[in-house]
Structure 1
Amino acid sequence: MADGTLVERLRQYLRGLSPEARALLMTELERGLLRGEDVAGAELVLQELRRDARETARPKRPGNLARLFFQPLEPFLVDDTATHSHPGRIARVVLEPMWEWICRDLMPGEAKAVTEQVARAFEDGDAQRAEELARAFQDRVATRMEEALAAASADEKARRRISGQIGTPRALDDVRAILTVIKSRHTLARFGAQLPSHIKTLDDSNIDAVKAIIEAPTSGGPVLFVPVLVMTMGRLAAPWQLVRLATRAAGTDNATRIAETPYAVTVDIVLAEIQRLISELKAELRSGQGLAVGALLKSIHDSARGLRAEINFSHESPWARALAALRTQVSDLLKGEIETLPARVRRLLRPRPIKEIAPNSTLDETDVSDTEAQIAFVNTCRAYAGELALSELTTRTWTDLEHYLDPATAALVENLRVSGESDRPFRQSQLDAAVRFCRKVFGEDYAALLLKARNVAAAAERKAAKG
């Protein structure tokens, strides 16, 4: 377990780095993990880098009062769509429409007055006064939320009106989730203070102590059981290890026995988190940046493998079917990226007759860089192929690539050696691309030999031109 002060200092240090430095650090850590290097704290650093990237990308919530009001929700916020249900968690995107509902419909006059009072307190440098105003406002909002939910449960028209005012897909569920946290914020804060700030591994050395904290009367009992589990997962370096509480409580890894315990919900929490990671992976692939793809694949792989290792799922189990569906999602998501690689490499490196080459043209650098990145991506997929149902596809694709590149490079060297003045730049750019691709596929030694052959061929061509 890491000391909370050290973890916070790490977060502050990472946030102080430039975006370029954070991207480079993430890339190097991912490469180290793929090589099997045991870098101390790598998982924590990658987790913080990904979290910081998401926070940098999204707009900040406006208003000091809104920030203070939603502060207790921070451990339960999840970056996902408002339609995806996470046990005990709240989609961050619902906060803005929820705040608008509070200020516009629930208690507009008071919200405006307190907003102005909090702003004045901050202007006067009295942060404590601002927090006191916000806490009192939280209590009054909680009371009004309870009244609104009671009206909605008794009247279908009221239920539709509130849902329409908030406008989120699961509006009343969102209200209930926020209300639970706001009402219990002091209890949850005490629980968080007792829990270790970072748990590198949840195992026999600490699991009973963590379980005792969760089950203590001061932790809120059944009403707050799911929220405290979510808070616990937030402290884990490997969130999937939350299910170890379930196997501990059941005294077995049998899925049927686990399903009979209150801790069965930990499996649902972890499955929902895997689904969120898959959605994040999909968005990352669409963005074309690919900075976090390796870390996301590793998280998904480790979570799926961890679930299967910790729990003996039967084929008929709903959990087993849900996990299989998630693995299929990943496979389908990555399939297109993997299958198109050999054809893309062939298109770039295909030996061409001189009539197909425009004088003094070269390969498009962006196309070459994208293909090089795609090779690295497929290689990353190979590392996690077994657990993500990609073994056959990645093996076939990589073998196809190896069988094409080895003979193709010899032809490219010969074409450069006999090239003329007009086609020389293009053939040289093809061979330069081949060196970069072979470095990813065969390693540095092979690429160095190919580069030497390229230089010899270029020298021979220059000598022939002078003769």
Structure 2
Amino acid sequence: MDSKPGSALAERLSNLLSRLAPATAKKLATGLEREKLQGTDGLPYGLILTSLRPALERGGGPRPGMPDPLRQFCLPFEDLLVNARDATRHTRQIARTSIDPVWFWLTTELLPDTLPDITGRLVEHTLSGDRIAHGGALAILHATCSAALLSGLDAARRDVAQRRKLERLLGGDAMIEDARFMAEALAVAPFMMELHNELPRRIDDFDDGLVAKVSELYEDARDASPECAIYVPLAAMNRLTSPWQILRLARKLSGFGNDAAVSRSGLAALGEIFLREMEAIAAGFETKRPGKADLERMRAGVLRFAEISQGFVHEIDIRRISDWGHRILASRARLSATITEEMSRFEQDIAKALPLHQIGVYGKNGPRRPDATQAPNAERVARAQACLQFLTGVCPVSESIGVQAHCKTITQQVETYLVAYEDGLIEEIRRARDKERANALAYLEVVADFRETLGPDAAAATLRRRGKVAAQAVS
């Protein structure tokens, strides 16, 4: 049977291995990596180790086993690796898919004679457990690869033909940029490795002790390579549960807590990360037509914006008259305008999901009651449910994005409509028969679901009891 990635056997193997207990997965990974280092053939190492990753991540802690040269090559920039680039986040992300093409470039063109000798010694010292010799070989690997990559990239920058050749070899501009990020991170590898080994994998509170440690590493890296030192705080930031806490480092090194001092500290890039993400979120939704936006995606974006805004302002004293202050206010105003326009349609969307029709001959201003002649429209109900989920998600953070007044107004409009509709629906259930009663009871479930989305289940339970009593009544 075919064990290649994508085959049926590979898929079954991947599913099985991903469900292993973390302790079992660690033992298996350790054994496999030793066999791989020793050159044992016949096993799909890549497929197995990739399949084990979910189980290893559940176990937490450092990854077990004896890493091969490629994995050790990646250690300095491991905290910058992403499965997929996010255009709204900071630019120094390295896609995992770039690793193999860059390694291939190193082994076949940049260091075809030197690299095999370096990696051979690295494997030898990894297997022997000689930590001093291993550390020396690893430092040589990182420094040699960094120099080779930077030289190759510089040559490609100066020569159009080489640039095109490199694009074909690596797979495009994004891969070339990733190669540059790798090279720059490798240029400060000793400091990146110390951070990699000594900082917790997940940091909930970037306290004074951790700030001091990263500060020391950053300053040492800056002395060694001023243009590449920024990778140290970037790697640390990716271990923070609240990434904006990295601004505590900027506060420490600037000596002041305001944005002007931080922007002069050489760490303005850290603040720019969050500013650009906020601006990208605001711009991304600004182009959407009202009523056509993906509300779940917009809600996630708004919550992320609010989270960044609150964290940013908490960590740094932002002055309204400063460049950063102007940019925060401008992006907040743009997002607020988009949200306000989108939410203005919510009452209309609720009314489409819970329709009313005229009764009597009083004209368009006459009394109306729930229309149970047709069953609920699933598409309209889903849209209305998305509106309510957006409302309940955004209102708690509305003050930080400047839409608290509008949230209050829309919530009141929705509440008024639902109360009136519920009273009319109970009467409709009591009055209707056969198909129309079934439709009315279906609408009752829709409204009860809406109530559950808006708040405590008690309101939904009370409505269902009222509907049950009405359905048993005889008109």
Asked if the contact 1:250–1:261 (Cα under 8 Å) also holds between the matched residues in 2, the reply is yes
User: Counterparts of 1:96 and 1:438 in 2: how far apart (Å)?
Assistant: 52
Bigger relative contact order (CA 8 A; separation at least 6):
1
Structure 2 vs 1, CA of residues 89 and 220 (structure 1 numbering), >3 Å: closer, same or farther? farther
- The correspondence of residues 45-444 of structure 1 with structure 2, limited to 5 A, is 69-70=73-74, 72-78=76-82, 81=85, 86=90, 88-92=92-96, 94-95=98-99, 98=102, 141-159=145-163, 161-163=165-167, 165-169=169-173, 172-203=176-207, 205-206=208-209, 209-215=212-218, 217=220, 221=224, 222-272=226-276, 274=278, 290=296, 297-328=302-333, 330-331=335-336, 334=339, 338-352=343-357, 362-364=375-377, 367-368=380-381, 371-441=384-454, 443-444=456-457
Which segments of 5 or more consecutive residues in structure 1 lack a partner in the other structure? 1-14, 19-50, 57-63
Deviations 1:137-196 (A, max 9, x none): 877654542332232344355345534654544565432211123454444122222334
Give me the whole-angstrom Cα distance separating, in 1, the residues matched to 2:183 and 2:110.
Answer: 13
Paired amino acid for 1:452: R
Distance 1:146 1:67, change over 3 A: same
Identical counterparts, % of pairs: 20
Alignment of 1:447-466 (within 5 A): 447-460=460-473, 463-464=474-475
**1:287 deviation in Å?**
11
Q: Deviations over 1:424-461 (max 9, x none)?
A: 1111111221122123335333323222211111011x
Give the partner amino acid of 1:310.
E
Q: For the Cα contact (< 8 Å) 1:94–1:168, is it kept in 2?
A: no
Task: Answer yes or no: is the 8 Å Cα contact 2:259–2:317 preserved in 1.
Answer: yes
Over 3 Å counting, the alpha-carbon distance change for 1:93 and 1:313 in structure 2 is: farther
Contact 1:281 1:297 in 2 (8 A): no
> Closer, same or farther in 2 for the Cα pair 1:232/1:380, shift >3 Å?
same
Alpha-carbon distance in 1 for matches of 2:19, 2:281: 26
Cα pair 2:349 2:380 within 8 Å, conserved: no
Larger displacement relative to structure 2 (167-176 or 77-86):
77-86
CA separation of 1:371 and 1:196: change in aligned 2, threshold 3 A: same
SS at match of 1:262: coil
| Equivalenced residues, count | 392
**RMSD of aligned alpha carbons:** 4.8
How far off its partner does 1:415 sit? 0.7
Contact residue 449 and residue 460 of structure 2 kept, 8 A: yes
Q: CA deviation at 1:300?
A: 3.1
> TM-score of the superposition, structure 1-length normalised?
0.66
8 Å CA contact retained: 2:156, 2:166: yes
Greater fraction helix: 1
Contact 1:195 1:213 survives alignment (8 Å): no
Supply the AA of the counterpart residue of 2:199: L
Does the 8 Å contact 2:75/2:196 carry over to 1?
no
Task: Please tell me whether the aligned partners of residues 97 and 166 of structure 1 are also in contact (alpha carbons under 8 angstroms).
Answer: yes
Give me the whole-angstrom Cα distance separating, in 2, the residues matched to 1:262 and 1:151.
Answer: 29
SS in 2 for 1:386: helix
Contact kept in structure 2, 1:191 and 1:218, CA below 8 Å:
no
Amino acid of the residue matched to residue 432 of structure 1? E
Are the counterparts in 2 of residues 351 and 412 from structure 1 also a CA contact under 8 Å?
A: no
Give me the whole-angstrom Cα distance separating, in 2, the residues matched to 1:431 and 1:172.
58
Q: How far 1:423 sits from its partner (Å)?
A: 1.0
| Corresponding residue SS for 1:387 | helix
Deviation at 1:298, TM superposition (A): 4.2
Give yes or no for contact 1:382–1:391 (8 Å, CA) kept in 2.
yes
**Structure 1 pair 148/349, CA: closer, same or farther in 2 (3 Å)?**
same
Find the residue that maps to 1:455 and give its secondary structure: helix
State the shift of 1:390 in Å: 2.8
